[in-house]
Amino acid sequence: MAADDRPQITLITPPTFDPESFSDRIGRVLDGVEIACLRLSLGTRDEDVLMRAADAAREAAHARDVAVVIDNHLILAERLGLDGVHLTDGSRNVRKARKDLGADAIVGAFCGSSKHDGMTSGEAGADYVAFGPIGTTTLGDGSQAPFELFEWWSQVIEVPVIAEGALTAVLVARFGPVTDFFAVGEEIWSAEDPLAALRSLLAPLD
């Protein structure tokens, strides 16, 4: 795949991690593979935990000129000097996020498999729209974002699109020509060597 056609990578953090040890772990991945954006996706609502994790992630990412967005927390994104937010509830809060964070912030929206929600998000000012999962999973209601959605989007809509959820190397090979980004997280963090796992997952793009 030509370099200018190759999808970029968003790296998603694990839902829990120790900020002190994780900055080294995440730094190794950021040094080993070109990452466009780091997404803080934590499973806690504890503000102190979120702030410490965000500080560690921001330091590791910004030292390497990688942008950082956080799931949903508009106030923390601004307070902690992050680059924007990733909204997990589709188009509902895109307009508010854009208004609150300003024109320069990154505002992205996860829209499941809903073409309508994706289009609404783009019209409301989202910088990107994410669809997924593209792989088979027992999470949620089991529905998947189909290949045809990405194929149509890549031909018709200018807003960048992210493919995510239950990625495999086979899916990366298939969806590579019709997506602008892959978002990778849970697929690699359970591995002993996350960097090797990421390289293996993305091998079809080389």
Q: What confidence tens digit (pLDDT) does each residue in 143-198 have?
A: 899 999 999 999 999 999 999 999 999 999 999 999 999 999 999 999 999 999 99
Average pLDDT over every residue of 64-85: 96
Domains of the chain: 8-205 (3.20.20.70)
Whole-angstrom Cα distance, residue 127 to residue 107?
5
Q: Using alpha carbons, select from 96, 120, 132, 125 the residue that is nearest to residue 108.
A: 125
Give the separation between CA 103 and CA 125, rounded to whole angstroms.
9
pLDDT bucket at 115, cuts 50 / 70 / 90 = very high
Please enumerate in sequence order all residues whose Cβ is within 8 A of that of 201, keeping only pairs 6 or more positions apart, or say none.
167, 168, 169, 172, 184, 187, 188
Count of alpha carbons within 13 angstroms of residue 177, beta-carbon side: 8
